[in-house]
Amino acid sequence: MISAIIFDMDGLMIDSEPLQKEAWQATARRYGRAIDDALFTRMLGLREVESTALVIRELGLSVEAKALWAERNQLYLAGLPGRLRAMPGLYELLAELPPRGLCRAVATSGERRYVETVMRELELEGQWDALVVAQDVTRGKPAPDVYLLAAQRLQLAPSQCLVLEDAPNGIAAAKAAGMKCIAIPNEDTRALNLSAADAVMPSLLAARDCLDVLMR
């Protein structure tokens, strides 16, 4: 039986990927470069250290990773207030979990300051039984570390956890952790290969409507 739902954050709980792409493009333009859709797709689900290293390598930039991330992060965080939107069905799904005795957790590649901003903007502070961010683990997705740590903090076995993800890197991480994973893609990930997930659903609302089935 499933005892907890673990949520990815970007692209699953919030419609943040267009804002992230915007910030990365603005950063790249400062160096006379551009990030195409193929590169951005490869970045989905990665932590700052992996995504920044990928950008530097693929764009051939001569800049330290910390400096590039600081530029991108300044642009991104400055553009968040008032622009973050929860994905349709997020609040409805979350409301259904406590009555069923299900724990609620987040396991994200986002860094702590950013995650705190998101939770504050969406009024979701203090509503989680466990929350794992990039700084909490050595390896980011597709390694299973964030999900294994979330299960540990919930004091549950991985097999008792159901993960909701939107992208291949996150699905790979969840499956490597030994967890059931449902893919709920967004506009940026809908065309990607999500076949490693146990099932694909069109929305968080659809997941809410199938909760009793998903808990088995």
Report d(CA 122, CA 147) in Å as an integer: 22
For the chain, the straight-line distance linking the first and the last C-alpha, in angstroms and rounded, comes to 5
Measured from the Cβ of residue 56, the count of other Cβ atoms closer than 10 Å reads 17
Give the type of residue at 93: L
Q: What are the extents of the domains in the chain?
A: 4-15+85-214, 17-78
- Say if residues 107 and 7 touch (Cβ distance below 8 Å): yes
Average pLDDT over residues 27-38: 95
Please, which residues have CB within 8 angstroms of residue 177's CB and are 6 or more apart in sequence?
A: 144, 147, 148, 151, 158, 161, 163
Question: Over 90: is that where the pLDDT of 45 sits?
Answer: no
- pLDDT tens digit string along 70-100? 999 999 999 888 889 999 999 999 999 999 9
Helix/strand/coil for 69? helix
Check if 8 is active-site.
yes
- Say if residues 100 and 107 touch (Cβ distance below 8 Å): no
pTM of the model: 0.89
Q: Which residue of the set 10, 15, 166, 188 is catalytic?
A: 10
Give the CATH number of domain 17-78: 1.10.150
- Diameter of the chain by CA atoms? 53
Q: Which CATH architecture has domain 4-15+85-214?
A: 3-Layer(aba) Sandwich (3.40)
Percent of the chain, pLDDT > 70?
A: 100
Question: Over 90: is that where the pLDDT of 153 sits?
Answer: yes
Q: Which residue of the set 8, 129, 145, 188 is catalytic?
A: 8
